[in-house]
Amino acid sequence: MTTPPEPPSPVAMERPTSLLFVCLGNICRSPAAEGVFLHLIGLQGLEDAFRVDSAGTGDWHVGRPADERMRTAAARRGIALPSRARQISRSDLSRFDHVLTMDRQNLKAVRSLAGGGEGTAEIGPLTRYCRRHNIEEVPDPYYGGEEGFDRVLDLLEDACGGLIETLKAERAS
């Protein structure tokens, strides 16, 4: 006799919450945030509850994979970074529930793109979800050494963990 499958959790049955992570070029911080978030929800079996993407405010790297140094640092933690760089568009502000930026410069650029209140996305800094780190920005590791990429991943794991807990609580209420 087989046991019937468990019904899907109430969180998975709702419309997926959509998130867009944004940095400058979409090759270091935002694809890492996307990968970390996907990794963490995968560990919790919440893949169906979220739709996740990343973008950059600039167009310099469109079509390229994440920076090799970031991919290497993430792979050491078992985190894949599958996305290709793309530039944020005005339509993203209506397609996503949350647009989460890595620093003040990108927050300002996204809010400017939103213009006179266009779009429905909640726009804000990802770091507001940090639980262990007291920071306002995720630093850009592009011009630094290897330790900068690991530092960014530490911050993103903290912020994405806090974000997941917040979103799960919102969905449960």
Is residue 61 within 8 Å of residue 27, measured between CB atoms? yes
**Using CA of residue 110, residue 170, residue 127, residue 157, what is the dihedral sign?**
negative
87, 57 in Cβ contact below 8 A?
yes
State the pLDDT at residue 82.
Answer: 93
pLDDT of residue 90: 94
Contacts of 50 (CB under 8 A, 6+ apart): 16, 17, 18, 19, 37, 41, 167
What is the structure's pLDDT at 12? 45
Q: Check if the beta carbon of residue 155 is closer than 8 Å to that of residue 133.
A: yes
Cβ-Cβ contacts under 8 Å for 125 (sequence gap 6 or more): 100, 101, 102, 103, 104, 107, 136, 137
Domains and CATH numbers, the chain: 13-172 (3.40.50.2300)
**What integer pLDDT is reported at residue 87 of this predicted model?**
98
pLDDT reported for residue 93: 97
What are the φ/ψ torsions at residue 98 (nearest 5 degrees)?
Answer: -135, 135
**Residue 21, both tokens:** 């992570």
Looking at residue 119, its pLDDT comes to 81
- Residue whose tokens read 């994405």: 160
Q: Annotated active-site positions, please?
A: 23, 29, 140
Q: Taking the chain (173 residues) in consecutive chunks of 10 residues, what is each chunk's mean pLDDT?
A: 50 80 98 98 97 97 97 98 96 97 98 83 97 97 94 98 96 85
* Mutual angle of helices 146-172 and 29-43, in 10-degree steps: 50
State residue 11's pLDDT score: 46
Burial of 70-106, coded b for 16+ CB within 10 Å and e otherwise, reads: bbebbeeeebebebebbbbeeebbeebbbbbbbbeeb
Instruction: Write out the two tokens for 107.
Output: 């927050």
- Torsion, Cα 21 81 8 13, to 10 degrees, reads 30
**Which pLDDT score is estimated for 116?**
67
